Structure 1
Amino acid sequence: MPQAETITMTEASVTLAGRPVLVGLSLTLTEHRIGIVGRNGSGKTTLLRLLAGLIAPTSGTVRVGGIDPAKDRKAMLSRLGILFQNPDHQILFPTVAEELAFGLRQMGHPDPQAAVRATLAAEGRPHWHDAPCHHLSQGQRQYLCLLAVMMMEPQTILLDEPFAGLDLPTQSRLARRLHTLPQRLITISHDPTAVAGVDRVIWLEGGRIHRDGPAPAILAEFRGAMADLGAQDADADL
């Protein structure tokens, strides 16, 4: 797999419904494993959507290997994949085979069905082929979405709270699978344990970069700040 291209943001801002959600973000992303942390409402998911090209910046620029992801979605198929927090927001087709084949068809794969069968066999799930997606558990649907992204072989995978709503055994299985992936992973979470082993952590507060640096130092500071907030009786700052 080719090395993931550099992702850059220059003074990128996003305003939604008249409210600033991201403000003046400038980042250069090159590391293999990157975590983005922050409280709910800090702008984490909007940042991931911005990186994926699902939304365009209100001002400033975003580039993936020099390409604007919001203007060239086809070019992003081999560069960026995204795994949403809720698999039901991602699954489009009634059966597993149809869901897995969709992205390959978009990329012009010569035999999507053969690739689907090979992937399911390699993952020890050949019996999933004709299964209705709605018959799978939430953890299984999340894994299905990950397989669909993996089959397209993007250089970078964006993960939006990938462990949310999963029980502990399912979290462990998903974490092991993610650990084996050669792609760059950019993971957003409000839970510091979800990004504890990454190379770099970006901490968002109010749509701005509050801290940015090596994971141990940033996460220790983040945990301390969240503990201080939790010790307060009021939530008037929200």
Structure 2
Amino acid sequence: MTPPLYSESSETSLLEINAVTLLRGTCKVFEALTLHLSEPRIGLIGDNGAGKSSLFRMICGLDKPESGTVRVRGFAAHDINTKRPGMVGMMFQNPDDQIIFPTVEEELALSLSPSGLPRRQAIAKARVFLDSRGLGPWAQRTMGSLSQGQRQHVCWLALMIASPELLLLDEPFASLDLPGQALLGMDIARASQQVIVSTHLLRHVRDFERVIWLDKGCVRADGSGQTVCAAYESDVAARLARQALSFNDGPPHGAPSIH
């Protein structure tokens, strides 16, 4: 296991996960997990089932650990939604798990509710925001008229207009075409907030200052994006090579490529 390359000092950490154990049913997702996260851009990688989405759900207060603490800017994560609504924003893997209202402008207006803005003013602000992005015609479009990628983009726009202090993006590039991925990448680079991105598309986090590789609920590696992504790719290639050997009962003709 690669040791963490970052200091665990809580004095500078914006997000603190201390000795957390999380169960889902009878399955232990995390055991004594500790992470102190202060970098402005952090990537989260690993196989399906590694615990990436579960980590996000704990941070935004949707799941409460059996033991240990999760604190965001000094607040207990499970109290954030009542004590500091709007502090943490999460973009789910499936936009249909996030979207509530039938039209784009109403969905964006919902994101402004923690500010106490009246509904009519919130919708007006949503329209101005969409115009500023060149998406004015989207305002009254129904969600059913949008593609999966467009609905995912609406979820990102809802986070942007709300402007929470911490952004958690769970597979945000998965349904986007190449132009959409490029635009989202630029938005992430320009965002003033701390952003944590969970993704299987390593090119989007390879240049991040910090990337964490989760493996079965444990931190397998923690360091620069270039180093950790390369280590994960090498591990996947080695596993595929072993699998090929078991299938073919002999050495593969070449190392599988996972780039």
Q: Name the TM-score, length of structure 2 as normaliser.
A: 0.84
CA distance in 1, matches of 2:125, 2:177: 30
Cα-Cα RMSD? 2.0
Match of 2:215 in 1: 205
In the TM superposition, what are the counterparts of 1:16-165 in structure 2 within 5 Å? 16-110=24-118, 111-165=121-175
Name which of 9, 13, 17 aligns with 2:17: 9
Maintained 8 Å contact 1:69/1:76: no
Q: 1:223 offset after TM fit, Å?
A: 1.1
Maintained 8 Å contact 2:152/2:175: no
Q: 1:106 offset after TM fit, Å?
A: 3.3
Q: 1:44 offset after TM fit, Å?
A: 0.7
CA distance in 1, matches of 2:136, 2:87: 27
Maintained 8 Å contact 1:79/1:154: yes
AA at the equivalent of 1:63? R
Maintained 8 Å contact 2:20/2:65: yes
CA distance in 1, matches of 2:114, 2:144: 23
Q: 1:5 offset after TM fit, Å?
A: 7.2
Change over 3 Å in CA distance of 1:189–1:95 after alignment to 2: same
CA distance in 2, matches of 1:27, 1:113: 39
Maintained 8 Å contact 1:24/1:208: no
Give ranges in structure 1 of 5+ residues lacking alignment.
Answer: none
Maintained 8 Å contact 1:96/1:128: yes
Which stretch shifts more, 121-130 or 161-170? 161-170
Match of 2:199 in 1: 189
Name which of 164, 184, 189 aligns with 1:174: 184
* CA displacement 1:105-160 (0-9 Å, x = unmatched): 23312521221121011111111111101111122111111111111111111010
Structure ranking higher on relative contact order (CA contacts 8 Å, 6+ apart):
1
Q: 1:187 offset after TM fit, Å?
A: 0.6
AA at the equivalent of 2:70? V
Maintained 8 Å contact 1:85/1:162: yes
Q: 1:11 offset after TM fit, Å?
A: 0.4
May I ask how many residue pairs the two structures share in their alignment?
A: 233
> Matched residues, percent identical?
39
Give the structure with higher Rg (CA).
2
Match of 1:222 in 2: 232
Maintained 8 Å contact 2:86/2:114: no
Q: Name the TM-score, length of structure 1 as normaliser.
A: 0.91
Q: Secondary structure at the match of 1:233?
A: helix
